[in-house]
Amino acid sequence: MSERNTIESRLGQDSLTSPTAGLPYDPAPMMPDVKVLKIGGQSMMDRGRSAIFPILDELVLAKDEHKLLVCCGGGTRARHIYAMASELELPTGVLAALGGYVPRQNARMLQMLLARHGGIFMLHDDFEKLPLYFRLGCIPIMTGMPPFGYWEKPAEGGRIPQHRTDAGVFLSAEVLGVKRAIFVKDEDGLFEDDPKKNPGAKHIPRIGAKELLARDLPDLVLERIVIEYLAIARSCHELQIINGLKKGLLTRALAGEDVGTIIYKD
């Protein structure tokens, strides 16, 4: 009988199905100085000009000081797609693939507005060109959605994909070795209840991922899976949520100030 023809290596005979926690590993970060940020879909893009133009002005002022990777959320058109696809009983992977179109549109919109300042639209496949874009002084803009598409896992409790644009933004920061990802939304961050429905809800300036998960809230400001990943993340240890409708907050967040809410790895 023919034998397995293997290359000698540390994992040469490994089935790769057992946990690998014990292996020596000294991570080499890719681009830890990049600022990874997300412009919300429903919270920012769907407000149009009045919300977007001031944010872009802040980005343009910051771009020579910081390497900015701008990612986009989906918003109401994505909700319309998910609602239709759910009614048609389509599987989660198809919802994820369909849900990818909207944040891509939003990224293209921002690119058109930022083109004269070096805004450049990039696909997932262009990720390795980031150093070039930064060297040229560009502002790369991409979808926040990770590229899972048809390969998205079905989730318990519903058919909306678990990995949406918050997840993609967090995972982009994680692979680049960036410590903090910034989410620009239309609220001051995390509250003890939905501030849109309960204006008296108390603001939470800082909270640990495990602590937040332990509260088991029915609703969260970011995708639940991102908080779960944060708890075990290797590089991205902080998620900052800021209010993009308040002038100057993005600039302060980019300068490293703890405005809004910080969810940290505890």
Sites for other proteins among residues 53-72 (CB under 8 A): none
CB 41 within 8 A of CB 74: yes
Q: Pick from 242, 117, 110: which is nearest to 185 by CA?
A: 242
Classify the C-alpha dihedral 20-22-25-27 as positive or negative.
positive
Q: How far is CA 28 from CA 15, 25, 176, in A?
A: 26, 9, 10
Nearest distance, CB of residue 174 and other proteins, angstroms: 6
User: Interface with other proteins includes 3 (CB under 8 A)?
Assistant: yes
Q: At what angle do helices 76-87 and 92-99 cross, to 10 degrees?
A: 150
Q: How far is the CB of 118 from other proteins (least distance, A)?
A: 23
Q: Is residue 241 within 8 Å of residue 207, measured between CB atoms? A: no
List the structure tokens of 221.
């400001």
Nearer to other proteins, 1 or 135 (CB): 1
18 belongs to the binding site for other proteins (CB under 8 A): yes
Site string for other proteins, 203-242 (x = CB under 8 A): ---------------xxxxxxxx---x--xxxx-------
**Chain residues 96-135 in contact with other proteins, contact rule CB under 8 A:** 97, 124, 127
Question: Quick check: 168 binds other proteins (CB under 8 A)?
Answer: yes
Among 113, 155, 207, 213, binds other proteins (CB under 8 A): 155
| Interface region with other proteins, contact rule CB under 8 A, candidates 63-71, 111-119, 146-154, 251-259 | 146-154
Instruction: Candidates 89-97, 110-118, 198-206, 254-262: pick the segment binding other proteins (CB under 8 A).
Output: 89-97
Q: Examine residue 171 and tell whether it contacts other proteins (CB under 8 A).
A: yes
Strand partners, 242: 184
SS3 assignment for 225-237: HHHHHHCCCCCCC
Beta bridge partners of 141: 70, 121
Place of tokens 């603001």: 203
17 binds other proteins, rule: CB under 8 A: yes
As measured in angstroms, the least distance from the Cβ of 220 to other proteins is 5
Q: Decide whether 62 or 236 has the Cβ nearer to other proteins.
A: 236
Measure CA 41 to chain center.
Answer: 12
Q: Which of 37, 51, 254, 262 binds other proteins (CB under 8 A)?
A: 51
Amino acid making up residue 162: Q
The nearer residue to other proteins, 22 or 200, going by C-beta atoms, is 22
Position 154 contacts other proteins (CB under 8 A): yes
Looking at 49, 87, 199, 200, which residue binds other proteins (CB under 8 A)?
A: 87
CB 69 within 8 A of CB 129: no
